[in-house]
Amino acid sequence: MEQYEPDRLTPPQLAAMRRSLRNGRAAMTRRSLLRASAGGALTVGGLGALSGCGIPAAGRTQGGTSAQDHSAREKVVNFSNWTEYIDVDDSGKRHPTLDAFRKRTGIAVKYTEDINDNNEFFGKIKPQLAAGQDTGRDIVVLTDWLAARLIRLGWVQKLDPSNLPHAYTNLSSQFRDPDWDPGRAYSYPWQGIPTVIAYNKKALDGIEVKSVSDLLDNPKLKGRVSFLSEMRDSIGMTLLDMGKDPAKFTDDDFDAVIARLQKAVDKGQIRRFTGNDYTSDLTKGDIAACVAWAGDIVQLKHDSPDVDYVIPDSGYMTSSDNLLVPNKARHKTNAERLIDFYYEPEQAAALAAYINYATPVDGVKPYLAKIDKDAANNPLIVPDKAMQARSHSFRSLSQKEETAYEEKFAKLTGA
């Protein structure tokens, strides 16, 4: 297996990191939109249920390095997450689910919102992990491609299924078996992140948009289309449109997508590549249609009646942010108990009501309906089986592929 060089970021990866920090998902708060005017004021911060609780098959055999577990003696778990990525109740009380966990278990959660970008956070914890030291964190939340990297490096611990009965039973089939962690031996998803096509009905003025081809090829949309600055989202959606599987594509497939997007850039069809700052342009109608993150669109639709979305017949992309236990964590059992707690449908519903991303937990809908009926009936938040079947994931990349692909994508976007 090709070895990743953890101490060196290539120029394309550095460019991708800067792009993400400036306007990508790093610039998103998970509740990124103020429910202000329809003008779109922004704030930047933001197998179905199994019949039994059997033990899951192991994913990979190599694992991280455990430490002496102090969970029984030290009733604490240190949890690092992204900003605005956990529940807040209607009264403004922060993190009521964490309070409920503490009251039930006696385990206090030291919750820190210190993740602003995957690469930036990787740089923060890399020295300790590379040296075989405790990072001071028992749980971290990382996007799938970085979660895959840490698993490949052997820097996260294999989870104990006996501490995760709800997680194993209630994990949605959509997220159950990623190629980078088969059987979820090392990770469980926190939230899913669907990528769809969004549009402004007034700006379209009767123009039909149902596919990526419509965005790229309809001359009536020239200069009024945007794609995302996150490579896996824009490339993945275009791969699907071209009849390719994002889980199995080749170098030639990738190059064909780049060529197609470059043609649209050259003729002025694509206005720009954006992070979630497309939301302002979309609500104002400056952008008529775009590749978009579903969490943003759920929020925008509350206040902007002209904004809507479509799932192409070719399908849509879904990535995930994932819960992992780093090597040498002092409170692994406590961390696993907290992970399992969030796979109880009632707790998952509280998260979904606030975050508005796709829940990875089966059985959430009746609990969410008690909080927010619209959210419970929204397939972007609670995907039904038909919606799940149209979801696709971007395959894991080798270090060589990631470097080459980021370089080509950066050239395309002008990053």
Query: Token pair for residue 242?
Result: 């071209």
Give CA separation, 321 vs 96, 131, 161, 301, in Å.
21, 25, 20, 24
Distance CA 115, CA 80 (A): 7
Does the structure show a pLDDT above 50 at 200?
yes
Query: Token pair for residue 21?
Result: 């920090």
By residue count, the chain amounts to 415
- Taken in order 143, 144, 149, 152, the sign of the CA dihedral is positive
**Looking at residue 51, what is its pLDDT?**
30
Does the structure show a pLDDT above 90 at 201?
yes
Looking at residue 220, its amino acid is K
Longest dimension (CA), the chain: 66
The CATH fold assigned to 76-186+325-343 is D-Maltodextrin-Binding Protein; domain 2 (3.40.190)
Distance CA 373, CA 292 (A): 24
Distance CA 65, CA 201 (A): 53
* Stated pTM of the model: 0.83
Distance CA 12, CA 411 (A): 9
Comparing 110 with 30, which gets the higher pLDDT?
Answer: 110
- For residue 83, the surrounding DSSP H or E stretch is none
Distance CA 269, CA 263 (A): 9
Residue 341 CB: number of other CB atoms within 10 A? 21
Residues of the chain with CATH 3.40.190.10: 76-186+325-343, 193-318+398-413
pLDDT per position as a tens digit, 44-83 = 333 233 333 333 333 333 556 667 899 999 999 999 999 8
pLDDT per position as a tens digit, 224-251 = 999 999 999 999 999 999 999 999 999 9
**Looking at residue 30, what is its pLDDT?**
42
Q: What is the rounded radius of gyration, in angstroms, for the C-alpha atoms of the chain?
A: 21
Let me know: does 392 contact 316? Beta carbons within 8 Å. yes
The CATH fold assigned to 193-318+398-413 is D-Maltodextrin-Binding Protein; domain 2 (3.40.190)
The phi and psi torsions of 292 (rounded to 5 degrees) equal -145, 160
The terminus-to-terminus CA distance of the chain in angstroms comes to: 31
Q: Which residues are CB-contacts of 295 (< 8 A; sequence separation ≥ 6)? A: 28, 30, 32, 193, 194, 355, 356, 357, 380
For residues 304-313, give the mean pLDDT.
96
For residues 112-124, give the mean pLDDT.
92
pLDDT per position as a tens digit, 254-298 = 999 999 999 999 999 999 999 888 999 999 999 999 999 998 999
Does the structure show a pLDDT above 90 at 373?
yes
